């Protein structure tokens, strides 16, 4: 694994497990990636793919009775996040690394005013800061994220805000201390479709305002296509593909990624059938032997290697890597499926 000098955060071999009555769930296995300064890194995958857990565990926000960080390293500014003491970690949270969560209604304290919660983000990290100053800055932040009448809104409670406004408030809270990394976990999933675009705009400008790198976790491919520079595709707790968004989406080097792309309904062509991925997501307690995707994979073609050996992330073109034994044959697969379904999935439109 090469080390990138431009990397702000380097995750290596992260593994996280959960103890459940059904057994030990291997939620995240051998996950490694880099986050570069100023970039937006998307992490995409289905529910259960480990996308949220892998990032949450970096900040140790997963419940550690059932959960356990088994191994791994996360280098940020010459320190390993996973070995920090709670006090050290607390200083980073909300200041260097900030988070925006999925459901703004439940993510805000219902008995405190929104303004107070935003101010708290600043007061916690700056012991010199006076209440009045924090209030002033909070109102500024509310204005920045586009909440109308911010001075009045400061004094209101979360249930008095609309869904979109609450998420804007969460974003304001996150950038209050100009973090270096902004983590957005399914930021728009709980919002109405019409609001989603607005909130993403706010998120993007907030990121620019703070000059932060962003990790965007979502299952929404469209969101990644619009917002992210690079993308990580996760399946069964592992990284199966990494690369620049444009590259990965137009020339996927993993059958799962291709499956995701192909199963999206399209407006530009007429087709009778949708090309779906057959089967179910894998059990994380007893994952399939070898490649986790092989039971559902068309590329396997009865070849035994897929069921025997877990594929490593291997380079294709620079920076574009995938974990598939037969990544080279992807183009043929694409052509095959295109012919079947009657839609051209290969390269093409920008």
Partner 1 sequence: MLTYIARRLAVSVVTLLGVTVIAFGLVQMLPGDPARTIAGLLASDEDVERIRTRMGLDEPVLVQYGQFVSRLVTGDLGESARTRRPVTTEIGARLPKTIELAAAGTIIGSVLGIFAGVVAARFRNRFLDHSVSMGSLIGISMPVYWLGLLLIMLFAVNLGWLPAAGADRRTSIILPAFTIGLFTMALVARMTRSSMLEVLEQDFVRTAFSKGVADRNVVYRHALRNAFIPVLTVIGIQFGSLLGGAVLTEFVFAWPGIGRLLVDSIFARDFPVVQGIIIVFALMFIVVNLVVDILYSYVNPKIQY
Of 118 and 337, the one with the shorter C-beta distance to partner 1 is 118
Of 106 and 208, the one with the shorter C-beta distance to partner 1 is 106
We find the least distance from the C-beta atom of residue 19 to partner 1, in angstroms, to be: 13
Count CA within 13 A, CB hemisphere, residue 4: 16
Of 214 and 337, the one with the shorter C-beta distance to partner 1 is 214
Of 109 and 208, the one with the shorter C-beta distance to partner 1 is 109
Of 112 and 271, the one with the shorter C-beta distance to partner 1 is 112
The footprint of partner 1 (CB under 8 A) covers: 59, 61, 65, 86, 90-95, 98-99, 101, 103, 106-112, 120-121, 124-125, 157, 159, 170, 173
We find the least distance from the C-beta atom of residue 73 to partner 1, in angstroms, to be: 21
Q: Quick one: tokens of 136? A: 């002033």
Q: Quick one: tokens of 111? A: 């008995």
Of 191 and 231, the one with the shorter C-beta distance to partner 1 is 191
We find the least distance from the C-beta atom of residue 56 to partner 1, in angstroms, to be: 9
We find the least distance from the C-beta atom of residue 21 to partner 1, in angstroms, to be: 15
We find the least distance from the C-beta atom of residue 50 to partner 1, in angstroms, to be: 18
The gap between the terminal CA atoms of the chain, to the nearest Å, is 31
We find the least distance from the C-beta atom of residue 153 to partner 1, in angstroms, to be: 15
For residue 44, count other CB atoms closer than 10 A to its CB. Answer: 26
- Whole-number Å distance between alpha carbons of 248 and 241: 8
We find the least distance from the C-beta atom of residue 270 to partner 1, in angstroms, to be: 43
Of 190 and 227, the one with the shorter C-beta distance to partner 1 is 190
Count CA within 13 A, CB hemisphere, residue 152: 5
């Amino acid at each position: 694994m090469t080390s990138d000098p431009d990397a702000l955060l380097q995750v290596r071999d992260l593994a996280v497990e959960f103890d459940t009555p059904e057994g030990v769930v291997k939620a995240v296995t051998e996950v490694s990636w880099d986050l570069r300064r100023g970039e937006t890194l998307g992490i995409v995958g289905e529910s259960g793919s480990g996308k949220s857990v892998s990032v949450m565990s970096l900040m140790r926000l997963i419940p550690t009775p059932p959960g356990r960080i088994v191994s791994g390293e996360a280098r940020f500014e010459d320190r390993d996040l996973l070995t920090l003491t709670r006090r050290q970690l607390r200083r980073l949270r909300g200041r260097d690394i900030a988070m925006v969560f999925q459901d703004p209604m439940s993510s805000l304290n219902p008995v405190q005013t929104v303004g107070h919660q935003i101010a708290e983000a600043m007061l916690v990290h700056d012991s010199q800061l006076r209440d009045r100053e924090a209030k002033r800055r909070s109102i500024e932040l509310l204005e920045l994220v586009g909440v109308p009448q911010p001075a009045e809104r400061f004094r209101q409670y979360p249930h008095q805000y609309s869904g979109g406004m609450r998420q804007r408030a969460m974003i304001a809270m996150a950038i209050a201390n100009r973090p270096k990394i902004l983590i957005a976990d399914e930021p728009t999933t709980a919002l109405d479709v019409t609001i989603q675009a607005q909130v993403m705009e706010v998120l993007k400008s907030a990121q620019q305002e703070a000059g932060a790198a962003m990790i965007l976790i979502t299952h929404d491919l469209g969101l990644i296509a619009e917002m992210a520079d690079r993308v990580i595709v996760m399946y069964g707790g592992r990284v199966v593909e990494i690369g620049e968004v444009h590259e990965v989406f137009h020339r996927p080097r993993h059958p799962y990624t291709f499956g995701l792309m192909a199963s999206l309904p399209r407006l530009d062509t007429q087709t009778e059938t949708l090309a779906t991925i057959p089967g179910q997501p894998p059990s994380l307690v007893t994952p399939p032997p070898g490649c986790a995707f092989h039971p559902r994979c068309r590329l396997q073609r009865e070849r035994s290697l897929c069921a025997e050996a877990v594929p490593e992330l291997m380079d294709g073109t620079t920076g574009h890597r995938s974990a598939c034994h037969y990544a080279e044959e992807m183009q043929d697969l694409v052509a095959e499926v295109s012919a079947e379904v009657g839609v051209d999935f290969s390269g093409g439109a920008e």
